[in-house]
Amino acid sequence: MSFDLPTLPAHWSYVPLGQLAQKNSVTYGVVQPGTHFLEGVPIVRVNNFSDGRIECSDLMRIDPAIDAKYSRTRLKGGEVLLTLVGSVGQVAVASKKLKGFNVARAVAVIHPIDSVEAEWIALCLRSPLSKHLLGSRANTTVQTTINLKDLRELPIPFPPESERKEITAALGALDSCIAVLHETNATLQSIAQTIFKSWFVDFNPVHAKSESRAPSYIDTGTADLFPNDFESSALGQVPKGWKFGILGDIAQTVTRKATVSEFNDQLNYVGLEHIPRKSLSLINWGCADGLASSKSVFSKTDILFGKLRPYFHKVVIAPIDGVCSTDVLVCQPKVNDYYGIVLMHLFSESLISYANRLSNGAKMPRVSWKDLAAYPMCIPPSDIAMSFNSVILPMVGEIISNIEQIQTVIQLRETLLPKLISGEVRLQGGETIVDGAVYA
């Protein structure tokens, strides 16, 4: 198969991917994984890919007997993984923590030969050139699918080892920066969940006061706002004086729609496919240009709740203004004092389970705002809600700031990637060479 390829530096060459991989190692994973097997072997699926990383928060597990039939794709760590079906072209290098995992049919496993870095192959597969070449040959009859034969024949730019290592180190530093920001946001999310659970699920400040001990996860001034006793309610024992109510008492949805005539390439668009599972951080989005139907309007800091298949747990803080799919509910507090409480309830496992029970539709179950609004809850006084906001809002601000930094680094990486792996921009001893000119 012929390729029309850009010219490389004279001392570089193109090498078919198959020649950079161990014999018979460019292959796909488990064809029929069966149903989820609680204590089984985890497998990596397309939905687990996220900006060059494998997210392990929503792993399917398969029967070990099925895994045994696919030992060729059982991971050891260090393999290059590529999505072959659906959202094709996503790439990650398997970390050591994935040792013993397997992969699904829609994921290719590439074992590099000893003299070639997995990171180099991954960088090349992420490049616009590779995506174009694979995409132009993909089968799109039913679902976009990359053929393994085309993958093995894919030409990979191949400079000398010293240059490969310089390039992977430079781009790897950007990836490390992105990873740290992701980890920071995950930590902030975990802290917010812990405080929310302590204050509004376990009612630890009330228990502490009733037992004359110092409460955890709360300062003395805020603890003084909590009662020291409980009373009976439809939800069981709740803090004395708190109101039994529903989510709709403190939250609402935004129903404003944008029409096709308002769409352009500067208007951000969020579809369900952009929203991660079990993460408050929205990292990816597209543009509204070319969309064919009306969409819901949202603003920065609104809460976006995926109502289709609610068990996917797609709930995020909007870091931008824009429009979103009508399968996404745009949620806000009725009064700003309750923002943090509304956010954390919508993100809670309890509410997701509730939404899943009430969703309608056999193949495409959806939950309505009417059902979500009826979610029963214990509503604290506004002074406690405001105190929770004083803790949560700085975290929300930091999460959004980190997302903005991630976007900046991603843009830099995506600008440098094709130039570095084609030799258009070269690195030498910490300097950048562009068209013969040297920059420190």
Domains assigned to the chain: 15-156 (3.90.220.20), 248-379 (3.90.220.20)
Q: At residue 264, what is the residue type? A: N
- The pLDDT assigned to 50 comes to 86
Contact indicator for 61, 36 with CB cutoff of 8 Å = yes
- Tokens, residue 10: 């004279």
Mean pLDDT confidence for 207-221: 91
- Tokens, residue 118: 């997995």
- The pLDDT assigned to 3 comes to 64
How high does pLDDT run on average in the chain?
93
- The pLDDT assigned to 201 comes to 97
pLDDT band at 2 (very low <50, low <70, confident <90, very high): low
Backbone angles phi, psi at 67, to 5 degrees: -55, -40
Contact indicator for 81, 7 with CB cutoff of 8 Å = no
% of the chain at pLDDT higher than 70 = 96
Contact indicator for 20, 151 with CB cutoff of 8 Å = no
Residue 112 has pLDDT above 50, yes or no: yes
- The pLDDT assigned to 429 comes to 57
- Tokens, residue 122: 């991954």
Mean pLDDT confidence for 146-158: 95
pLDDT tens-digit series, residues 405-434: 999 999 999 999 999 999 999 886 545 544
> Where would I find the H helices in 279-348?
339-347
- Tokens, residue 67: 């895994």
- The pLDDT assigned to 173 comes to 93
Q: Give the closest residue to 349 by CA, choosing from 278, 263, 412.
A: 278
- In DSSP terms, which residues pair with 402 in a beta bridge? none
pLDDT tens-digit series, residues 225-283: 999 999 999 999 999 999 999 999 999 999 999 999 999 999 999 999 999 999 999 99
Q: What's the chain's Rg over C-alpha atoms?
A: 25
Mean pLDDT confidence for 202-211: 95
pLDDT tens-digit series, residues 366-416: 999 999 999 999 999 999 999 999 999 999 999 999 999 999 999 999 999
DSSP 182: H
Q: At residue 284, what is the residue type? A: N
Buried b (16+ CB within 10 A) or exposed e, 397-417: eebbebbeebbebbeebeebb
